[in-house]
Amino acid sequence: PHVAGAAAIYLGQNPTSTPAQVSAGLVSAASTGVVGSPGSGSPNRLLNVTGGTTNPPGKSFSNTDDFAINDNATAESPINVTGVEGSAPAALSVPVVIQHTYIGDLQVQLVAPDGTAYTLKGYGTGGSSDNINTTYTVNASSETANGTWKLRVSDNAARDTGKIDSWGLQF
């Protein structure tokens, strides 16, 4: 479905293109060498789409207070969301900045106002890498937008500590 959408956008900008030209245009715009563990036979290309229209972003909320992540402990950082009608989006954007050595020790979860936890990063992923600076996307469409959301970070090992530096929600 993603490639079909990208092809439709390409054709909207180049309406006389043949199928071969559409394919060549999409391949030439793709980034190479950025897909981790693509498997044998993969062209190892990441589809890039330009053009089309995007919806303007909704309200943004953030918490830039530091919350310590201690060994074998859990830290939670809250954000109070107000003034957003209805449910959270199906593609809720969650930018996260965590400073921590050995991120494989961490589990990162987004906790909705009703207590439902969405795992953004599980234990073990990231291995011995330091720090998390990324944006996760969560289907939170079953959640009421308004209320207190939390970023929950759990550490399951000794010798490496850190902090939740900042995080946010983009509705």
Q: In 64-110, which residue ranges form alpha helices assigned H by DSSP? A: none
pLDDT at 68: 97
User: What gap in Å lies between CA 46 and CA 152, rounded to an integer?
Assistant: 31
Give the C-alpha distances (Å, rounded to integers) separating 75 from 10, 49, 63, 161: 45, 38, 14, 11
Q: What is the mean pLDDT of the chain?
A: 89
Alpha carbon distance 73, 65 (integer Å) = 18
Query: Which residues are within 8 A (CB) of 167 and not within 5 positions of it... i.e. 6 or more apart?
Result: 62, 63, 77, 79, 94, 95, 96, 97, 151
Q: What CATH topology corresponds to 60-170?
A: Jelly Rolls (2.60.120)
Domain boundaries, the chain: 2-46, 60-170
pLDDT, tens digit, 9 for 90 and up, residues 66-86: 999 999 999 999 999 999 999
pLDDT in tens, 102-111: 999 999 999 9
Of the segments 15-24, 47-56, 157-166, which one has the largest average pLDDT value? 157-166
Question: Residue 95 corresponds to which tokens in the numbers above?
Answer: 């930018």
Inform me whether the pLDDT recorded for 135 exceeds 80: yes
User: At 131, which amino acid appears?
Assistant: N
Residue 31: its pLDDT value, please?
74
